[in-house]
């Protein structure tokens, strides 16, 4: 299934609850929640208290993207805060397999993310174990960047690997996605679309509807 996951990193935090309700009511299926620690990525965003608090605003899938060192330390607490899907970076885990197992043990959806320059071979052995692969289409850390073109071919290669192995997993793209490039990314094989500034940078309701039109083939 094709889904939109608006990234609240670009939302107006002074009215975060309203912003989430807007994209929820406009039809977005996921809410993308970027957690940054100032170490794995240069910036710091927000953490558990915010996630726990916004859980009250929507029943949509909380798609938590952890850009933090050794994310295994926080899996349990994040699930308790309401995470439905946790994605960890292959680059940030000393023991990626163990970290994925820790997510799955809590009965939620497990994702693994790759930075633009990290090859797909980094995840070839755990592909059978994850529900989703997130291909970063910018270097993680900030919203509003421009998509790095070579990452589109990486999505294509991943899709091929998934088909060859007859796996059923979602491919998410994150970073610099907008209404002009989303169809190219979907043609390459992506089916979960993260968009931050392209949703919250203007009329979030209208932008969500426009994305959903394209995502649903309209």
The catalytic residue positions are 34, 174
| 142 has binding-site annotation | yes
210 closest CA partner among 20, 16, 23: 23
In this structure, is the dihedral angle defined by the CA atoms of residues 92, 97, 101 and 102, taken in order, positive or negative?
negative
Q: Is residue 31 a contact partner of residue 5, using CB atoms and an 8 Å limit?
A: yes
The interface mask with ligand DX5, positions 55-94, x = CB under 6 A, is ----------x-----------------------------
Residue 144 touches which of ligand DX5, Zn ion, none (Cβ within 5-8 Å per kind): ligand DX5
Among 27, 47, 116, 141, binds ligand DX5 (CB under 6 A): 141
Among 10, 92, 99, 115, binds ligand DX5 (CB under 6 A): 10
Q: What does the alpha-carbon distance between residue 184 and residue 15 come to, in Å, rounded to a whole number?
A: 33
Q: What does the alpha-carbon distance between residue 42 and residue 78 come to, in Å, rounded to a whole number?
A: 21
Does position 32 bind ligand DX5 by CB under 6 A?
yes
Q: How many residues bind ligand DX5 (CB under 6 A)?
A: 22
**CB-nearest residue to ligand DX5:** 196
Among 4, 9, 54, 212, binds ligand DX5 (CB under 6 A): 9
Residue 177 touches which of ligand DX5, Zn ion, none (Cβ within 5-8 Å per kind): ligand DX5
CA distances (Å), origin 106, targets 29, 50, 82, 90, 167: 22, 21, 12, 19, 22
Q: Please, which residue, 65 or 89, has the CB nearer to Zn ion?
A: 65
Q: What does the alpha-carbon distance between residue 90 and residue 82 come to, in Å, rounded to a whole number?
A: 23
- Give the count of beta carbons closer than 10 Å to the beta carbon of residue 154: 22
Q: What does the alpha-carbon distance between residue 96 and residue 81 come to, in Å, rounded to a whole number?
A: 22
DSSP-derived secondary structure letter, 159: H
**Min CB(114)–ligand DX5 separation in Å:** 12
Footprint of ligand DX5 (CB under 6 A):
7, 9-10, 32, 34, 65, 138, 140-145, 174-177, 194-198
The binding site for a divalent metal cation comprises: 32, 34, 65, 174
């Amino acid at each position: 299934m094709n889904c939109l996951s608006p990234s609240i990193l670009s939302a107006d935090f002074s009215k975060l609850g309203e912003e989430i309700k807007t994209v929820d009511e406009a039809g977005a299926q996921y809410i993308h929640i970027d957690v940054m620690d100032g170490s794995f990525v240069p910036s710091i965003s927000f953490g558990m208290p915010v996630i726990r608090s916004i859980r009250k605003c929507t029943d949509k899938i909380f798609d938590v993207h952890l850009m933090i060192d050794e994310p295994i330390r926080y899996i349990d607490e994040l699930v308790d805060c309401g995470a439905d899907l946790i994605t960890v970076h292959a680059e940030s885990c000393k023991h990626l397999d163990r970290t994925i197992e820790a997510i799955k043990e809590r009965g939620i959806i497990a994702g693994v993310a790759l930075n633009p320059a990290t090859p797909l071979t980094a995840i070839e052995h755990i592909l059978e174990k994850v529900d989703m692969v997130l291909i970063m289409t910018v270097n993680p850390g900030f919203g509003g960047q421009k998509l790095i073109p070579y990452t589109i071919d990486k999505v294509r290669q991943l899709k091929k690997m998934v088909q060859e192995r007859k796996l059923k997993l979602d491919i998410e793209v994150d970073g610099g996605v907008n209404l002009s490039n989303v169809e190219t990314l979907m043609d390459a094989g992506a089916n979960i679309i993260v968009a931050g500034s392209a949703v919250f940078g203007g009329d979030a309701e209208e932008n969500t509807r426009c994305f959903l039109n394209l995502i649903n083939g309209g």
